[in-house]
Amino acid sequence: MSEWARRARVGNAVRVTTPHDLDDRLRAELAALGAPDQRRDLGEPLPDGGPLTGAQALALFDAQLTSRLLDLAGRWLSGFGEGYFTVESAGHEGDAAVAAALRPTDPALLHARSGAFYCLRAAQADGARQVRAGGL
């Protein structure tokens, strides 16, 4: 078991980290990736000739990350008795691609754990205001 996994476990429950701890760890992991030699045009397909552009990939990643951060915030607040949080969206981040394939006005009956879908759809419709509403 990794050091991170060991520290994150308390009995059978996952230890709730602080947003600051998560931010520090994310920044360290991203910094360890290093920068590419050349930056690609975000309008170009990934990979060359593929159907997904860099901009679309970033939009998907942003929705997935926002969903995870909303989960963390809900769990963190619940740990202080300031919220009610039971089901997170972790593991359903791919649902953001479903939202990207649909128009914001298309009906969608997805599982309650589809936070990334909601985040991408909110960005398509009304951005941050909708994401904040979903977090409530």
Residue with tokens 């926002």: 66
Tens digit of pLDDT for each residue in 15-74?
556 777 877 888 888 889 888 888 889 999 988 888 999 999 999 999 998 898 888 888
Residue 96 contacts by C-beta under 8 Å, 6 or more apart in sequence?
Answer: 60, 63, 64, 67, 116, 117, 119, 120
- Chain segment 65-108, per-residue pLDDT in tens: 889 888 888 887 887 888 776 677 878 889 999 999 998 889 98
Going by C-alpha positions, the residue among 54, 35, 36 that lies closest to residue 44 is: 54
Nearest alpha-carbon partner for 132 in 44, 70, 57: 70
Q: Quick one: pLDDT at residue 87?
A: 77
Please list, in sequence order, all residues whose beta carbon lies within 8 angstroms of the beta carbon of residue 70, skipping any fewer than 6 positions away: 89, 115, 119, 131, 134, 135
Cα-Cα-Cα-Cα torsion 19, 21, 22, 23, nearest 10 degrees, comes to 80
- For the chain, give every domain's residue range: 1-35, 54-136
